Structure 1
Amino acid sequence: MTGVVGALVEAWDELRIHRLRVLLALIGVAVAVAAITAVTAAVDMLSQAMREQNERDSGRSVTLQVNAWPATAEAASTDTEAIAAQYDLALERYGIEYSSRTLYSPVPVRFPDGTRGVDMQAVDPDLGVINRIVPVQGRWFVDQDVDAFAPMLVVNEAFMQSLGLSDLSTHPTVLIGDTDPVRATIIGVTAQRWTGEMPSAFWLYDQFERWWHVDPQMGQPAPTLAVWVPTDQADALSERLARDVQLAAPGWQVDVYDNRMNGMSGLDGATRWIGLGFGVFALLLGGLGLVNISLVTVRYRIREIGIRRSFGATSARIFFGVMLESVVATLVAGFVGVAIAVAGLKAVPFDRLFGSALQDTPPFPVSAALVGLGAALAV
């Protein structure tokens, strides 16, 4: 133990004496470690951004979609209340925490330039959690909104532009319906998803049933049920949900789909390997400078090494001391590189780069710092 401590102290003294040489050698290592650490952390953030974007379209992992439609002409005339009741029973039976009924329907909306049909989606409040829906203005639905005396809408920016409005400061309302319209209150605005997006809106399923009626022959025959379930229970729940709904609706075709086959795992792995390859390449470039200067330094220290041998120092002790100089130096450079990476990532506006702010921003990964320090020691 005394020998190891002595070698470390000796290595530190050598670094102090030759600090200019060491500083020049370690600049490249520090930059390379900062690069590999930042890339590792950035890949985690990129993966999270891609995951959240995918979940906005298909729901969190794992989301099951229960679809039912009549398989025969006789079944088409069947009331869908039995299916809705079975949905409620299944949610209670299996203890599913997050669920939402979903039904699409065009609804006439009275804009300043005339009445137009708008694609409206009747949902439950939990869809905001399942699909990560966060309005850029206002708010999303809460359970208490179901009992409101007038329907509430969460619309997109194109809907607001059609009303000639830019924000919710005037507490806007709009008439929806044709022969017997009802005035709805706009409580939230979602961001525009793509250029040229048409006006659309969400409203609560219970309010949809109260104030609007859709002919099953003209639209979606029954609502879709979306449920967010644990990954290890997805397969079993898929079979049970399909069986239960099928028993409640004879003559209907019932299918359950999940969002696991979306290629995200392979995409995450690809970006991680690309980022790691970039970081390793940067580290090799940074390490070349240190190796080059170390080799040149050993040539100039031949006389010093000879003197130490004459005083009884063994070859192993000399080799160990020279090696520890590099280890201690690169470890210091590793800490500096990690600090640079942390500061740099905090200054990067990822919400602008990714197009939207991350809801679940991952903390700076400890694995990235460990990779950086481990790479520095390896050099």
Structure 2
Amino acid sequence: MNGVLTTIVGTFVESWQELRVHRGRVVLSLVGVTIAVASLAVVVGFGALAEKATAALNEQYGGRPATFSLTASSSTGDAVADEDALFAEYRAAADRYDVRWTSEAMEGPRKVQFPDGVADVYTRTVDPDYAEMHRVRMASGAWFTEDDRGRLAPAVVVNRAFLERLGDPDIVTHPTVRLPGTPGSVAVVIGEYVTSEYDTEPSMYEMARSVASTGLTADPDMGISRSFEVWVPDHHAKQLAKRIASDAERASGGAVEVSADRMDAAGTVDGDPLGPLRYVIAAVSVLVLVLGGLGLLNVSLVSVRQRIREIGIRRGVGATAGRVFVAVLLENVLGTAVAGAVGVMLGAAVLSNGTVRSAITSGADVGGAPFPLEAALVGIGAAVAVGALAGLLPALVAVRVKVIDAIRY
């Protein structure tokens, strides 16, 4: 056991010493490998970040897998007579099937009195579960709770553009805003939710079935739509959503028709929308990696030919063919491993830059480490593989060196 360990350690030491002796040529040959690995790491990291950002943005707007929207229409073509009763049936049906996450969702313009005048603000009227279903993140303050339904001064959660138009007050001061209407009301801003830097128009959330939403009905002419959302397990999701819709239809006595449509991107988008771009960039990176490997191969062959006498002497004093083969092969593997580590660090520096990361993720919260682990593993793995392939031919040449010819060289 000690002999095997000594052989392994000795081989690594010999390979590292050779790298130090020929470091000039090795460094020049590994520049291409370093650049290629950095490019490859950036490509893989870009793909991972973009995929997470796309999923986060899709879930923000369409909901988590699997989210269904239940919408009703009268069997006679008229407006649904009693929407509140129908939505109560939705909730009862969801409870019957142990569906934990549900939310009413009505969206459209709502008049808000700002210091500079009245404006139509895009408003979503939702239940507290909506935040979990759509990954709503808070920048400050708090999201709705069930206790907020009974507020005499209704609660609203707004975006940064809304606060700036309101005069940029501090959330902790409980700023108020007037909502004109019949009747009008004065709402309290309880929180600010996170939005993209490109979201420059004021928008807000208000609580469903609260004072703020009293008298607010879905008016298609005003662009207001009302639906009921359910987040169900992805397994048999379609069947479960249709059961809830069918139960609500039966409870209405056949007066309405309820449809269940899947909202989340996982149920509507096929394949990888970023795939073509990633494949093109990856192909270029692989090409650069191959060119770097060819340069390393050329330097390794020249180095072996210059060391024929040294190799012959080592064979003459007892070094086995296997020992020589592994030593020459490891010289390349160790060199490219170091180059790969440097390339990965360069890639990590690029992707960890706040401006670059924000451009890739569009401001979405993707979580995890600043640099994806899979990008680091792919970069190091590719570098080691190139080193092994580039060192294979020189190692075979070194093994075939005849001792007597090498000593005469």
Smaller-chain TM-score bracket: 0.7 to 0.9
1:270-281 matches, within 5 Å, as: 270-281=276-287
Query: Shift in Å at residue 79 of structure 1?
Result: 1.8
Residue by residue over 1:141-195, the C-alpha shift from the partner in whole angstroms, topping out at 9 and shown as x without a partner, is 23332232211122345544654x2334664322224343221112334567697
CA distance in 2, matches of 1:88, 1:94: 10
Q: Which residue of 1 aligns with 2:48?
A: 44
User: Structure 2 regions of 5+ residues with no counterpart?
Assistant: 387-409
Structure 1 letter corresponding to 2:272: G
Please state if 1:18 is matched with 2:22: yes
The answer as to whether partners of 1:137 and 1:167 remain within 8 angstroms in 2 is no
Deviation at 1:203, TM superposition (A): 0.7
Return the offset for 1:374.
Answer: 1.8
Contact preservation (8 Å) 1:38, 1:368: yes
Q: Is 1:86 equivalent to 2:86 in the alignment?
A: no
Aligned-partner Cα distance in 1 for 2:165–2:384? 61
CA gap of 1:312–1:181, structure 2 versus 1, over 3 A, is: closer
Q: What residue in structure 1 maps to residue 269 of structure 2?
A: 263
Distance 1:327 1:109, change over 3 A: closer
* Pairs within 5 Å for 1:16-165: 16-72=20-76, 76=79, 78-104=81-107, 106-112=109-115, 115-136=118-139, 138-157=141-160, 159-160=162-163, 163=166, 165=167
2:169 counterpart residue number = 167
Distance 2:285 2:255 in 1: 59
The equivalent of 1:286 in structure 2 is: 292
Point out where structure 1 has 5 or more consecutive residues left out of the alignment: none
Number of residue equivalences: 377
The one-letter amino acid paired with 1:242 is A
Q: Give 1:213 shift.
A: 4.4
Give, in angstroms, the shift of residue 124 of structure 1: 0.9
CA contact (8 A) 2:159 2:202 kept: yes
1:327 to 324, 333, 336: 333
Percent identity reads 37
Q: Distance in 1 between matches of 2:58 and 2:140?
A: 22
Residues 33 and 105 (structure 1), Cα distance of their counterparts in 2 relative to 1, 3 Å cut: closer
Describe the shift of the 1:278–1:98 C-alpha distance in structure 2 as closer, same or farther (beyond 3 A): farther
What secondary structure sits across from 2:189 in the alignment?
strand
Q: Which has the higher contact order (CA 8 A, sep 6+)?
A: 1
TM superposition shift of 1:117: 4.8
Shift of 1:221: 9.8
How far does residue 290 in structure 1 lie from its aligned partner after superposition?
1.6
Per-residue deviation, 1:101: 0.3
Distance 1:320 1:157 in 2: 62
RMSD: 3.4
Instruction: Calculate the TM-score normalised by the size of structure 2.
Output: 0.78
Q: Give the drift of 1:217.
A: 8.6
- Deviation of 1:311 after TM superposition, in Å, equals 4.7
Deviates most, 52-61 or 264-273: 264-273
8 Å Cα contact 1:122-1:208 kept in structure 2: no
Contact between 2:87 and 2:228, CA under 8 Å: does it hold in 1? Answer: no
Range moving further from structure 2, 321-330 or 191-200: 191-200
Q: 1:295 aligns with which of 296, 301, 307?
A: 301
Distance 1:184 1:287 in 2: 66
For residues 355-374 of structure 1, the aligned pairs below 5 Å read 356-363=362-369, 364-374=371-381
Structure 2 residue identity aligned to 1:166: D
In 2, are the aligned partners of 1:168 and 1:187 still within 8 Å (CA)?
no
Deviates more, 1:186-195 or 1:123-132: 186-195
Shift of 1:352: 3.3
